[in-house]
Structure 1
């Protein structure tokens, strides 16, 4: 659990609600179901219209990283690569075929299989970098699902505000209904701007940082397998790969 994300969201919400109470306002004035449906539904529909199906759903799945982030163990990965290099120098690269069943990640398994098949370091890099580029493109597009939501939400909030004012104009002869219409008008704007800047945009930026970490991990794998293919000494491989650690 990423406690920083959790506390950040709680502090943001507490600050807004606290400010509302300090100004003498009430919590009830901030909770307008009609405004929520206008902003959330409109934003969701716009993002779905913009995004391809696989990108949209992948973006939703990646959203959980904000609170349950992936934590790649680079030290363990480096030790595995060094172990493979020791085994290949001692018993030959073909012995790595016995380790394929222990590798569960398709990307790493493909790289080791290319190594076992006798491909050169350049061939291994050429094949794996295509997969890295494809994975990065999908991940960046998926993070932009949240970034797009941050762009649409304020505008949808303005639409909600206009709808609220239209409702107010239609009920000028009924003073008892004016308050509800005005509330929807202003709260819609709050929801749109608030969701964009407190939820959607922070999520998009945090996902981008995790995408960069994943790209670094995959580059580490490529470098390690290339050095094994070139017959580099395990100590040199370990020393070079240590540079990926923060």
Structure 2
């Protein structure tokens, strides 16, 4: 940091943040896509199950009416699986990934500001106060307790 231009260092660090966030967004978009197509695959499974059910249906002979309910249940369960995958697994995972990304971006932005302030020779106490403004009130209170808990009294 000491031997480099401040704008150059900031540019490198901010580029790293942008690239990291883009990679994270690609992963979240994959889960969003899976969430949007899972119900459709469930419906395709239902249609295949219904076709098989109708092909094996023989109301006049053995096994026709008896297996109708079982075959219909098997056909419909694929729709349930598609909806569960979309709304219980894929959608929440995408939201979780985006939440984690925003936390990591915030962390790295705080690091960038800290590095820039250290390079500028800013006072450590004022630097700490400025970096705490990036956090929510709850995080500030937890950070204040954690920072003061390790000091000798």
Whether the TM-score (by the shorter chain) exceeds 0.5 is: yes
Q: Deviations over 1:44-67 (max 9, x none)?
A: xxxxxxxxxxxxxxxxxxxxxxxx
Aligned residue in 1 for 2:43: 158
Aligned residue in 2 for 1:230: 120
Aligned residue in 2 for 1:243: 133
Partners of 2:43 and 2:74 in 1: CA distance: 11
Partners of 2:70 and 2:22 in 1: CA distance: 45
Aligned residue in 1 for 2:111: 221
Are the aligned partners of 1:164 and 1:185 in contact in 2 as well (CA < 8 Å)? yes
Tell me the number of residue pairs that the alignment of Structure 1 and Structure 2 aligns.
131
Partners of 2:34 and 2:123 in 1: CA distance: 49
Say which structure is richer in helix: 1
Partners of 1:195 and 1:164 in 2: CA distance: 19
Q: Deviations over 1:146-166 (max 9, x none)?
A: 211111110000001101110
Is there any run of 5+ residues in structure 1 with no aligned partner, and where?
A: 1-114
TM-score scaled by length of structure 2: 0.80
Alignment of 1:28-67 (within 5 A): none
Per the alignment, in what secondary structure is the counterpart of residue 226 of structure 1?
helix
Aligned residue in 1 for 2:19: 134
Alignment of 1:31-110 (within 5 A): none
Q: Aligned-pair distance for 1:122? A: 1.2
Partners of 1:139 and 1:227 in 2: CA distance: 28
Partners of 1:220 and 1:119 in 2: CA distance: 20
**RMSD across aligned positions (CA):** 1.3
Q: Aligned-pair distance for 1:204? A: 0.9
TM-score scaled by length of structure 1: 0.51
Alignment of 1:10-21 (within 5 A): none
Q: Which protein is bigger by CA-based radius of gyration?
A: 2
